[in-house]
Amino acid sequence: NAGVTQTPKFRILKIGQSMTLQCTQDMNHNYMYWYRQDPGMGLKLIYYSVGAGITDKGEVPNGYNVSRSTTEDFPLRLELAAPSQTSVYFCASSYPSSGNTIYFGEGSWLTVV
């Protein structure tokens, strides 16, 4: 009963480094999302995908890239990490015909120093 799985859970990056946050879901959901949440703030949508091969920008896409080669996986790539990208990142998925309830992963804590 995995649901949405994110890795890594914690990571420290140096300024200018790159990394990929992995996200996989086993519920056969069409829609997948990446959010970031800064301390004391709400969630901001970074990118979303409505199916394999289709991605689109959310509210705060700058500095990130995504791909969706399979239904299950939706990795988030950070290029040239900056301190402003220090945040908690949440991956999520949903399926329209099941009421579009969105299911979240446990989060990935990223610090850029």
Partner 1 sequence: DAKTTQPTSMDCAEGRAANLPCNHSTISGNEYVYWYRQIHSQGPQYIIHGLKNNETNEMASLIITEDRKSSTLILPHATLRDTAVYYCIVRTKTGNQFYFGTGTSLTVIP
For binding to partner 1 (CB under 8 A), which residues are involved?
4, 31, 33, 35, 37, 41-45, 48, 50, 56, 58-59, 88, 90, 92, 94, 96, 99-107
Min separation Cβ 104 and partner 1, Å = 3
Sign of CA dihedral 97, 98, 100, 103: negative
Q: Are residues 102 and 92 in contact, defined by beta-carbon separation less than 8 angstroms?
A: yes
Min separation Cβ 25 and partner 1, Å = 12
75 or 107: CB nearest partner 1:
107
Instruction: State how far Cα 11 lies from the chain centre.
Output: 14
35 or 74: CB nearest partner 1:
35
Min separation Cβ 46 and partner 1, Å = 11
85 or 94: CB nearest partner 1:
94
Q: Are residues 51 and 68 in contact, defined by beta-carbon separation less than 8 angstroms?
A: yes
Min separation Cβ 88 and partner 1, Å = 6
Phi/psi of residue 5, each to 5°? -120, 130
| All residues at 6 or more sequence positions from 8 whose CB lies less than 8 Å from its CB, including other chains | 21, 22, 108
